Amino acid sequence: MTEAKTYDPLDLSLQIGGVFITAMSEDMVEVEKDEESYSVKVGAQGDVIRSKVNNPLATMTLTLLASSPQLEYLTKLARTGEIVPVSIIYNGEVKETITSTQAFVKKLPTRTYGSEAEDREFELQMLDMDQT
């Protein structure tokens, strides 16, 4: 029988432009490559060719509590379009890193006001995502 592993969200650290991001909401952060790594084409006689897609773009979605101390910083990045590095490190039992030397906030987050504080969701375009 394999040994059970434990995931702890406290083992995740995120830096955007050298600033540590805190007060993330339940969904915290998600990174998805913008395109598949390979494309496939089939010829008229059934011949198949696979082409490597060298697109390094990825989209990072960051969900913050409305009280996050970095909310103002990320809002500023959204307004200015400044390009900054991003580093996501999960230092738990299974170690993972995602980095991009160039990323920018795509747009200002939606703001919802109601009977409870709503999360703020930021999308960042990562221009050269690398993951290990």
Q: Are the CB atoms for 71 and 78 separated by under 8 Å?
A: no
- For tokens 């650290």, the residue is 13
Residues 6 or more apart whose CB falls under 8 angstroms from that of 96 comprise 89, 90, 131, 132
Classify 9-131 by CATH class: mainly beta
Q: Are the CB atoms for 93 and 29 separated by under 8 Å?
A: no
β strands within 34-119, DSSP E: 38-42, 48-52, 58-64, 84-90, 96-105
Q: Would you list the domain boundaries of the chain? A: 9-131
CA distances to 60, 77, 95 from 106, rounded to whole Å, are: 10, 9, 28
pTM, whole model, 2 decimals?
A: 0.86
List the structure tokens of 118.
């709503």
pLDDT of 117: 86
**pLDDT one digit per residue (tens) for the chain, 132 residues:** 788 888 899 999 999 999 999 999 999 999 999 999 999 999 999 999 999 999 999 999 999 999 999 999 999 999 999 999 999 999 988 899 999 999 999 999 988 888 888 999 999 999 999 999
Q: Which of 126, 73, 98 is nearest to 14 (CA)?
A: 98
